[in-house]
Amino acid sequence: MLWIDCPWCGARPESEFRYGGEAHIARPDPATTDDAGWGDYLFMRSNPKGVHAERWMHREGCRRWFNALRDTVSNDVLTIYPMGTPRPDAPGDEAEGG
């Protein structure tokens, strides 16, 4: 089980949280985006073997959303940061995936 540091409630077990998938996927304007761009937005994911930027919600606590950087090999949560802010650098932030 992961151990996640909620910015408001402190460190809690993963079972209190809801996973929200990859972070920083911006919705393109459907009026000006072609099928490939829209498919990319809806379905394509970076799925790196390494550092992953992702969203979490403290479902059984404060019910607030935040972002995290996590290493998908060691499962260590490296950095917690607010939604809407750019992805910070993490130690060894070089993903193998694409």
Partner 1 sequence: MKKFSIFSLARNALSHHEHWPEQWRSPAPKPAYDVVIIGAGGHGLATAYYLAALHGITNVAVLEKGWLGGGNTGRNTTVIRSNYLWDESAALYEHSLKLWEGLAQELNYNLMFSQRGVLNLIHNVHDLQEATRRVNANRLNAVDAELLSTEEVKAFCPILNTSPKTRYPIMGGTLQRRGGNARHDAVAWGYARAADARGVDIIQNCEVTGIDVEAGRVTGVQTTQGTIAAKKVGIVVAGHSSVLAAMAGFRLPIESHPLQALVSEPLKPVLHCVIMSNGVHVYVSQSDKGELVIGAGLDPPNSYSQRGGLHTIEDQMGAIVELIPIFSRVRMMRSWAGIVDVCPDASPIIGKTPVEGLFINGGWGTGGFKATPGSGWVLAHTIATGEPHPLNAPFALDRFTSGALIDEHAAAAVAH
Question: What residues make contact with partner 1 under the rule CB under 8 A?
Answer: 1-2, 13-15, 18-19, 21-22, 35-36, 39-40, 42-49, 52, 54, 70, 72-75, 96-98
Among 2, 9, 25, 80, which residue sits at the site for Zn ion (rule: CB under 5 A)?
Answer: 9
Neighbours of 55 (CB within 10 A): 17
Residues listed for the chain: 98
Q: Does 73 bind Zn ion (CB under 5 A)?
A: no
Q: β-strand 51-57 against 65-71: which pairing, if any?
A: antiparallel
Looking at the Cβ atoms of 6 and 51, the one nearer to Zn ion is 6
Question: What is the DSSP-derived secondary structure letter of residue 15?
Answer: G
